[in-house]
Amino acid sequence: MATQTSAPKPSTTAHVMPARFVITKPVRNFVRLLFSYGVLTFGALFMLFPVFWMVTSALKPEWQIFIRPPIWIPQYWEKTPAGDHVALLNLWEAENPATGNTEIVIELGTRGYAPMVPIGELSDLYVVPESEISSSSYTKTINDTKINVRKWNDQEVAPVYDDKRGNLVVVLVEDLKETVAIMPLDTGERGNLQIDNMRVSTRLVETEDGSITEMLILFPNFKLTTLLDSDAAKQARLVPASEIGEFEVMPLDQTKTKQVTLNGAEDGERYVVISEASWRPTMQIDYLAQHAFTVDETDIVLEDEPQIFNLGVFPVGTYTDADGNAQEIAVVLSREVSEDETILVMPIEHMDAVELAPSSSLLRPFPETISHSTVRVKDFTRPTVREESIDFDLLGEKVGILGDRQDMMLTIPASAITTAFDIDENHVSRKTHIYLRWSNFADALSRELGGADFLHFIRNSVIVTTLGIIGHLLSCTLVAYAFARIRAPGRNILFALVLSTMMLPEAVTLIPTYLIFRDLDMIDTLTPLFIRDWFGNALLIFLLRQFFSTIPIELDEAARIDGANRWQVFTRIMLPLITPALATVTIFTFLWRWNDLFHAKIFLNSPKNYTVAIGLSQFVGAYEAEFNLLMAAATVAMLPTVLLFFFAQRFFIEGISMTGLKG
């Protein structure tokens, strides 16, 4: 319902009340509800978001942790094998303007465009302080060309340059007329125009009659991406840069692509270059260790021409051992590449195990000695950094990095490009699907910290928690029942004492407590973390006593008359009646013991005795940048408490409402 005020109208008759702005009750209620839900939602986002972010981060591969803009839901960027399966191409989604269908495509290249106008056609260029010009711009279509336009003293102007110090160079929109057109930014030669201290860049374009026209660049600039149906990726090939013959930049549709011919290819077939990158040959390390051996330079005779094994280029030759046996070998680490100037060779029949991997995936290798040579080894058993961007059979293995880096080009035959189309780059989106990386949890749980892993910490926490709960249940119920039902001198004073210890800061007893445990030789055992629970807890005794007090005393008396002794009354009648309270005791003890970092920090020294809380705190330093694993560990630490909370919320709320127990 609208709540607009209307201007009070002069009353025509004297006895009519003057019109007054009144908010009716339904409106007020509606506004109040809207406000309430709004504020509550905002607060709920604050409460939920950190947990959401932690849990989703726990399910991401490492690279998605660092990427900007942030990825909210863990996702997989879909890829398609490029022909020979060594390389992968990103898949994108875009609407084909020709068919109107959304297609799954690969990217061939991009090209920048802008509206341009010949300078000669303009009456003048104006330097305008930004303050004199409207701050908002809008789009105007002139000659089928969209142009960003702003207002300057009622005139429409199009900015061509911004010196970022408060001055703009503009042209009058009325000058543009038919001469403005969209042109690629790489048209012609680059030029520039000096206006005051500003250099406005231009393009010098050759016209049909051979003269040069200087073009001024207007806004907006935009990029067109050439996309190709993803099926064409099957025809892609990874080609060594050395095989490239001549190349030229050729326009393809509206987009410029790099087209090449290959040495030895028939009839000058042209290929479009999709990407250029450096690759390295690799081999599974155990296989390498089994078959490769270090040789003296004098024992090998190399052939002139290197040989290619699975796209990897290696010098080949003959090795003759001390007994005079000769065998064909390939040099997998040459003296120049090897760190300790040794030569590592491998019998030619085993060279099929070579796999090419992109150099960008082989960062942070570690050295390992094979035969007498040092081989740099990349561990893919726990691939973390952008491991999705590589696809080769050795993923999940440790691989040795061999040979020299090789520049490779990923190409597609120009003849395969039949369905390409151009589209504004903003209308292209990655083809993704939700992908939850559950293996992070396995990685986090098995990560070792001083000889113990996270599963071990969980086991310790379970022990502490269970023994704490049993201790509290036994001791607190007994004590609380006695305070509620058994009469004795001093009872009230003692109960006052119970209450007074509820607010006692723990710190004040901490040091002597530590000394007691030290004298009992219990430091660095789990005992100090739960043993005090066997002596009761003031808050819980108070809570249970309140519960016992609500049970009618007639129940006890009736049972006593029937011959039950006090113990039987307690176990058979009272305890069953206060099960909800027992649940509260169990839950809170669980929470306190599971979450207890401070005492674990004080009483435990060795990782084998760590509980989840202290283990997690130690992981903060140990994980460094592996936030996905750290978040996985934190999620594991949080999970039991949150699950318990959802299943037993009632008892939490009851306990808190009655005593102010805190989680």
Partner 1 sequence: MLKISNPVVTWKRLNPAMRQEAIVFYIWISPWLFGFLLWRAWPMVDSLYLAFTDYRLLNSPNFTGLDNIRTLLDDEQFWKSLRVTLMYVVGTVPIGTTIAMGAAMLLAQKLKGVNFWRTIYFMPSVVAGVTVAVMWSFIFNPKFGLLNVVLEWLGIKGPAWLASETWALPALIIMGWWTRIGTQMVIYLAGIKGIPKVLYEAAEIDGAGAWAKFRNVTVPMLSPTILFNVIIELIAAFQIVDPPLVLTDGGPNNATRLYVFNLYETAFEFSKMGYASLLAWILFIIVMILTMLTLEISKRSVYYETEV
Q: Is 366 in the site for partner 1 (CB under 8 A)?
A: no
Q: For residue 99, what is the DSSP state? A: T
Q: How far apart (Å, rounded) are the C-alpha atoms in residues 601 and 523?
A: 11
Read out DSSP for 309-333? ETTEEE-EEEEE-TTS-EEEEEEEE
From the CB of 466, what's the least distance to partner 1, in Å? 17
Peptide bond into 74 cis (omega under 30): no
The residue from 65, 114, 183, 394 that contacts partner 1 (CB under 8 A) is 65
User: Cβ-count burial of 512 within 10 angstroms (0-12 exposed, 13-18 middle, 19+ buried)?
Assistant: exposed
Q: How far apart (Å, rounded) are the C-alpha atoms in residues 651 and 648?
A: 6
Size of residue set near partner 1 by CB under 8 A: 92
Q: Which of residues 495-514 bind partner 1 (CB under 8 A)?
A: 497-498, 501, 503-514
Binding segment for partner 1 (CB under 8 A), chosen from 111-119, 215-223, 421-429, 535-543, is: 535-543
Q: Which of residues 610-649 bind partner 1 (CB under 8 A)?
A: 613-614, 616-617, 620, 627, 630-631, 633-634, 637-638, 641-642, 644-646, 649
User: Cβ-count burial of 241 within 10 angstroms (0-12 exposed, 13-18 middle, 19+ buried)?
Assistant: middle
- Are 109 and 220 spatial neighbours (Cβ–Cβ below 8 Å)? no
Which of these, 610, 616, 548, lies nearest to 582 by C-alpha position? Answer: 548
From the CB of 501, what's the least distance to partner 1, in Å? 5
Q: Is 605 in the site for partner 1 (CB under 8 A)?
A: no
Q: For residue 534, what is the DSSP state? A: G
Q: How far apart (Å, rounded) are the C-alpha atoms in residues 139 and 114?
A: 14
Read out DSSP for 569-633? IIIIIIHHHTHHHHHHHHHHHHHHHHH--HHHHHH--SGGG--HHHHHHHHHHHTTT-HHHHHHH
Q: Is 69 in the site for partner 1 (CB under 8 A)?
A: yes
Binding segment for partner 1 (CB under 8 A), chosen from 109-117, 214-222, 364-372, 483-491, is: 483-491
Among residues 202 and 586, whose Cβ is nearest to partner 1? 586
Among residues 43 and 367, whose Cβ is nearest to partner 1? 43
Q: Is 481 in the site for partner 1 (CB under 8 A)?
A: yes
Dihedral sign computed on CA atoms, order 228, 230, 235, 241: positive
Which of these, 416, 432, 433, 431, lies nearest to 83 by C-alpha position? Answer: 416
Among residues 512 and 576, whose Cβ is nearest to partner 1? 512
**Binding mask 18-37 vs partner 1 (x if CB under 8 A, - otherwise)?**
--------------xx--xx
Q: Is 455 in the site for partner 1 (CB under 8 A)?
A: no
Binding segment for partner 1 (CB under 8 A), chosen from 184-192, 259-267, 347-355, 587-595, is: 587-595
**Binding mask 537-576 vs partner 1 (x if CB under 8 A, - otherwise)?**
----x---------------x--x-----x----------
From the CB of 57, what's the least distance to partner 1, in Å? 7
Among residues 293 and 645, whose Cβ is nearest to partner 1? 645
Q: How far apart (Å, rounded) are the C-alpha atoms in residues 273 and 261?
A: 10
Among residues 463 and 644, whose Cβ is nearest to partner 1? 644
- What residues contact residue 129 under an 8 Å CB cut-off, 6+ apart? 166, 167, 168
Among residues 289 and 478, whose Cβ is nearest to partner 1? 478
**What number of other Cβ atoms are within 10 A of residue 39's Cβ?**
10
The residue from 125, 239, 591, 629 that contacts partner 1 (CB under 8 A) is 591
Phi first, then psi, for residue 256 (nearest 5°) are -90, 130
Among residues 54 and 414, whose Cβ is nearest to partner 1? 54
The residue from 264, 489, 552, 576 that contacts partner 1 (CB under 8 A) is 489
**What number of other Cβ atoms are within 10 A of residue 478's Cβ?**
14
Q: Is 164 in the site for partner 1 (CB under 8 A)?
A: no
From the CB of 55, what's the least distance to partner 1, in Å? 9
Binding segment for partner 1 (CB under 8 A), chosen from 340-348, 404-412, 430-438, 476-484, is: 476-484
From the CB of 271, what's the least distance to partner 1, in Å? 39
Q: Is 589 in the site for partner 1 (CB under 8 A)?
A: no
Among residues 333 and 633, whose Cβ is nearest to partner 1? 633
The CA-atom distances, in angstroms, between 616 and each of 592, 600, 612, 613, 622 are: 16, 12, 6, 5, 10
Among residues 267 and 624, whose Cβ is nearest to partner 1? 624
- Are 660 and 543 spatial neighbours (Cβ–Cβ below 8 Å)? no
Q: Is 39 in the site for partner 1 (CB under 8 A)?
A: yes
